[in-house]
Amino acid sequence: MDLSGRKVLITGAASGIGRATAKLFAGHGAELVLLDRAWGGSGSATPPSVAGAMHLDCDLTQEASVEQAVAQGIEALGQLDGVVNCAGISLRKSVEDTTFDEWNVVIDTNLRGPFLVCRAASAVLKRSAPSTIVNVSSGAAFRPSFNFGAYCASKGGLLMFTRALALDFAPFGVRVNAVCPGVIDTPMIERAIARSPDPEAAHARFTSNAMSRMGSPEEIANVIMFLTSVESSFVTGAAYSADGGATYH
């Protein structure tokens, strides 16, 4: 799968699946603009960059920040052939214990953020067609998890947004698909295990799938690259599960 000459914007690119995707795309010839609020820091707190990419600080929960970053990225690249929405956060709390602000920040990051990015990039993606959007949803879009109400709602919403956008954008030559990972060995999962009252039980729960292990960010990046490449030219509105067999649907 060759991405030479493809100009792609990736959110959440400072760590986890987003960073793995950025490194993979860069290695296959893509020109990249990478968005993450982590690049707003300085010194040792700033994540390492990806060679050859443009790195922009962006808060996906803020409309003005998204519009400015996307416009700046498009200006630098000259056009835009693809978008990958990787940024996301999690919250393990019962609905009763979830505050209004906590609910909003999960929905704003995981659902509103991709909407703002897609909207800001839509006109350029249509002009650059054939082009692609890949949204990173979750296995939680299909199967709820205990005490993950806000997260499940956000990822389920992102999956249906993907399908609706695929229908709207198909006449313009823009394909829109979702990747639905299971539990992936990322810093977010490491923190969840460390905060658990029983880390061993948490690890066992996170590896409860047909393959008895977590996935790697690189494995999800490979699926994202397929959906961004011309090899998936007849695929749109799809939800690709990459979860080690945790769900069958």
The alpha carbon of 12 is separated from its chain's Cα centroid by a whole number of angstroms, namely 7
- Catalytic residue among 148, 151, 161, 240, which? 151
The residue among 232, 229, 231 whose CA lies nearest residue 28 is: 229
CA–CA distances in Å: residue 208 to residues 17, 23, 232, 243, 247: 20, 29, 30, 10, 11
- Matching residue, tokens 């709820």: 144
Instruction: Give the span between the Cα atoms of 130 and 81, in whole angstroms.
Output: 7
Instruction: Give the span between the Cα atoms of 146 and 192, in whole angstroms.
Output: 14
61 within 8 A of 53, measured Cβ to Cβ: no
Classified as helix, coil or strand, 29 is coil
Instruction: Give the span between the Cα atoms of 13 and 69, in whole angstroms.
Output: 14
Q: Directed axis angle between helix 100-107 and helix 149-169, to 10°? A: 30
248 in active site: no
Find residue 240's DSSP bridge partners: 179
- Matching residue, tokens 């700046």: 72
Q: Please list the active-site residues.
A: 151
